[in-house]
Structure 1
């Protein structure tokens, strides 16, 4: 198992892409912390992992708050003795035209998607520096290239790319790799519950070289590659998981 004995934190891990990521880490031998703002989802995911023979703890966290993210890292270190891998996956959307977008819609998306990644990295980095080893994977989105109706989300995900490249340059000398994943359209429960899901799926098939909607497991597989020692000489990079669609 690739991650036997390694310690991994995944934010937004209660459902969707985050849950797929943390389950794969646990299956590959990692000791994991399930971090999510929703207590029930957090506890349920940790329970499922432990029931399947893995080892998981749950940590309810609001990634926009410094005290919460600091406690998340400290709780993980207290439980497992170290932190090797941080996956910044927590995110929200507030899609609307710029003329309808309120300041709060902007602030919430930037705070969760971008500030949250900054805070988690800030408090995890000292432990990684001390042990001279670490992997940080930030979940961006193909939306960083710009999407109509997503000025806030696209800006946040573009910010993730800048954060990733800055941290890669800053932390590389400590044997810490920092990379980003940019998923395209992924078939989460939120997408499947969308009123226009079938139409969205058909458009995706038409416009994507690999004609299907992506799966959470597709993203999880890419994340595990960046978190593994197989990618030890890759840092500051972006891996698109979008079926070949970039525009």
Structure 2
């Protein structure tokens, strides 16, 4: 199709995506998908040697497929590191036009065992980091056609034992999405959210017995297969692209029919 689609204001510059927490799992799949869609992609990783190594593998896969990618390690809960990450991104690729807030962390145990320090750490990474990244990316309101995609979780709506702080932050991201959509909408920037269900990731395989989890998950789902990171990445790609030009402030569950409300 020649020219922009009706209702879609295309940024004049090359589209640039920044995906937080993109070393593996949903973040890595999303980085690959957005690169395949023609974006230059910043692959953010936590600044630890194992996560940086994995992020470099993701970037190499993008390069081999003919795309452009840059690995920028940063703790996105640290304002100074967020500022430096965006500065480097803008120097290399230009301003971010698609921001995917995927970075998250958790520790599973009873809510009575959560310390104040742990509570604050989970909130900082899962919730405050999104605010810091959006404030830096769109502090000058952003270009029309830009978008933010927030990665929440179905646990924001269902809750779960041994995950009080995680579920709380993921629920907070729903309010964040709707409020930020109202803040940025007048300038043409869209903000939407995906709520993954029990997606089969490396993190999950490290934490749970795979066969037991498969049985538990499939007992709740309508679709009788496990979700993959690519299933979520495909929806993120849709929300970041022209086909969703009239969507903002929305939350889409990617959970195989686990929750239908």
Which among 129, 140, 159 is matched to residue 152 of structure 2? 140
Instruction: Count residues with an aligned counterpart.
Output: 246
For the aligned residues, what is the CA RMSD? 1.9
Q: Is residue 2:172 matched to residue 1:159?
A: yes
- Taking the aligned partners of 1:222 and 1:205, their CA distance within structure 2 comes to 21
Give the superposition deviation at 1:195. Answer: 4.1
Secondary structure (helix, strand or coil) at the match of 2:114 reads coil
Q: Which residue in 2 is equivalent to 1:181? A: 194
Which among 27, 30, 55 is matched to residue 21 of structure 1? 30
Which among 1, 14, 23 is matched to residue 5 of structure 1? 14
1:70-96 residue CA offsets vs partner (Å, 9 max, x unmatched): 122221111122211000000011111
Secondary structure (helix, strand or coil) at the match of 2:43 reads strand
Pairing 1:94-243 to 2, within 5 Å after superposition:
94-126=107-139, 129-145=141-157, 146-243=159-256
Question: Structure 2 stretches of 5 or more lacking a match?
Answer: 5-9
Give the superposition deviation at 1:105. Answer: 2.2
Q: TM-score, normalised by structure 1?
A: 0.94
CA contact (8 A) 2:52 2:73 kept: yes
- Taking the aligned partners of 1:241 and 1:173, their CA distance within structure 2 comes to 28
Secondary structure (helix, strand or coil) at the match of 1:109 reads helix
Q: Is residue 2:34 matched to residue 1:30?
A: no
CA contact (8 A) 2:143 2:189 kept: no
Question: Structure 1 stretches of 5 or more lacking a match?
Answer: none
Q: Which moved more, 1:161-170 or 1:2-11?
A: 2-11
